């Protein structure tokens, strides 16, 4: 049968899902949502492509990129990885693992600032077949030829659209300069040390039972964030931000703390846990003794 199925990570970042739905509608495919860990096994003879988030934006769980990619390929499917929460935080190995396609943003661990440019990866041998639904003068083989018909450029240029946002590109260029001479393996080591240390501090400072860690303890399953389930998480995050500890609230009950190893240090991690404990103590004084119990999940 024709490949008319798009598999989507069931916990996908919503925008990914919206775009996948739109692509499915325009191409006559149908969407099937599957838990990320089961995507590889779910790929079948009708699967055209699977869309998976390398790190779950809510829980911070790191998914198995090599295994899922290999399983999809064995079924004849392509995989698109969303790297928003892993690019700049940990080694990904797109080439090494034969990944087909990847997308991501530069405003999280690549420090490009709000609304900075996105990126696209297309495996080298797929590039001649890459067919953009958004062709533009800037992806044309002869951009200033102003030819009436479209002829895509070779290589990476084919993924461009129109005039890029020059100011954002300049800011991103400066942001990426801090990576000169930095190995992503070293960044990953510090990231894991930071998130381990933060979890230790939370266990030491926060009364038992007030928060539950939903980010996996195993290093191989952890991105560069820590997500804590917490009662009244929205109000708690508001109070943290007011005290200079800037994380995210994710509905319904998650406090999300991202650790960007190039500029977040151990003192920041310790302070974040201490301020969290203070906020929780002020909201419900005497809520129980400190202890590691709450953070083991």
2 touches its own copies (CB under 8 A): no
141 touches its own copies (CB under 8 A): no
Of 233, 282, 240, residue with least CA distance to 255: 233
Phi, psi angles (nearest 5°) of residue 75: -90, 0
Map tokens 């508001």 to a residue.
238
Among positions 70-129, residues that touch its own copies (CB under 8 A) are 105, 107, 113-118
Nearest approach in angstroms of CB 284 to its own copies is 26
Binding span for its own copies by CB under 8 A among 22-30, 95-103, 119-127, 238-246: 22-30
Helix (H) or strand (E) holding 181: none
Q: Compare residues 13 and 205 and give the one whose CB is closer to its own copies.
A: 13
146 touches its own copies (CB under 8 A): yes
Helix (H) or strand (E) holding 16: helix 14-27
Binding span for its own copies by CB under 8 A among 21-29, 65-73, 121-129, 181-189: 21-29
CA–CA distance, 288 with 23 (Å, rounded to integer): 51
Active site includes 13?
yes
250 touches its own copies (CB under 8 A): yes
Map tokens 């087909």 to a residue.
100
Q: Compare residues 19 and 242 and give the one whose CB is closer to its own copies.
A: 19
69 touches its own copies (CB under 8 A): no
Nearest approach in angstroms of CB 206 to its own copies is 25
Active site includes 256?
yes
Q: Compare residues 28 and 286 and give the one whose CB is closer to its own copies.
A: 28
Mask for 166-205, x = binds its own copies (CB under 8 A): xxxx-x----------------------------------
Which residue is catalytic, options 82, 121, 210, 222?
82
Of 224, 223, 222, 252, residue with least CA distance to 237: 252
CA distances from 12 to 39, 104, 169, 220 (A): 12, 13, 27, 20
CA distances from 77 to 28, 39, 132, 215 (A): 17, 11, 19, 29
Binding span for its own copies by CB under 8 A among 16-24, 181-189, 190-198, 224-232: 16-24
Q: Which of 125, 129, 154, 163 binds its own copies (CB under 8 A)?
A: 163
Active site includes 263?
no
Which residue is catalytic, options 100, 256, 257, 259?
256
Instruction: Residue 104: count other Cβ atoms within 10 Å of its Cβ.
Output: 22
CA–CA distance, 189 with 105 (Å, rounded to integer): 22
Question: For 197-223, what is the HEC assignment?
Answer: HHHHHHHHHCECCCEEECCCCCHHHEC
Binding interface with its own copies (CB under 8 A): 12-15, 17-19, 21-22, 26-27, 33, 105, 107, 113-118, 132-137, 140, 144-150, 162-169, 171, 250-251
Point out the residues that are catalytic: 13, 82, 107-108, 256
């Amino acid at each position: 049968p024709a490949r008319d199925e798009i598999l989507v990570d069931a916990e996908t970042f919503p925008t990914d899902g919206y775009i996948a739905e739109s692509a499915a509608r325009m191409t006559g495919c149908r969407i099937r949502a599957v838990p990320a860990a089961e995507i590889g096994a779910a790929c079948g003879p009708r699967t055209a492509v699977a869309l998976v988030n390398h790190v779950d934006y809510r829980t911070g769980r790191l998914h198995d990129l090599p295994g899922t990619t290999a399983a999809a390929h064995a079924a004849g499917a392509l995989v698109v990885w969303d790297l928003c929460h892993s690019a700049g935080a940990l080694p990904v190995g797109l080439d090494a693992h034969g990944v087909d396609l990847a997308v991501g943003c530069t405003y999280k661990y690549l420090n490009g600032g709000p609304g900075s440019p996105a990126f696209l990866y297309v495996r080298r041998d797929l590039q001649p077949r890459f067919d953009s639904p958004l062709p533009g003068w800037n992806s044309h083989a002869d951009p200033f030829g102003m030819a009436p018909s479209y002829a895509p450029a070779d290589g990476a240029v084919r993924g461009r659209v129109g005039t890029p946002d020059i100011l954002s590109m300049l800011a991103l260029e400066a942001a990426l300069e801090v990576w000169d001479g930095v190995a992503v393996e070293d960044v990953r080591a510090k990231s894991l040390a930071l998130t381990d240390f933060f979890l230790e501090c939370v266990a030491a400072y926060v009364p038992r039972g007030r928060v539950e860690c939903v980010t996996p303890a195993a290093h191989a399953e952890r991105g560069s964030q820590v997500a804590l389930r917490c009662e009244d998480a929205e109000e708690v995050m508001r109070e943290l931000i007011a005290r200079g500890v800037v994380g995210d609230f994710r509905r319904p009950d998650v406090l999300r703390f991202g650790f960007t190893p190039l500029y977040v240090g151990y003192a920041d991690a310790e302070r974040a846990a201490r301020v969290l404990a203070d906020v929780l103590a002020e909201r419900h004084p005497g809520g129980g003794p400190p202890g590691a119990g709450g953070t083991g999940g």
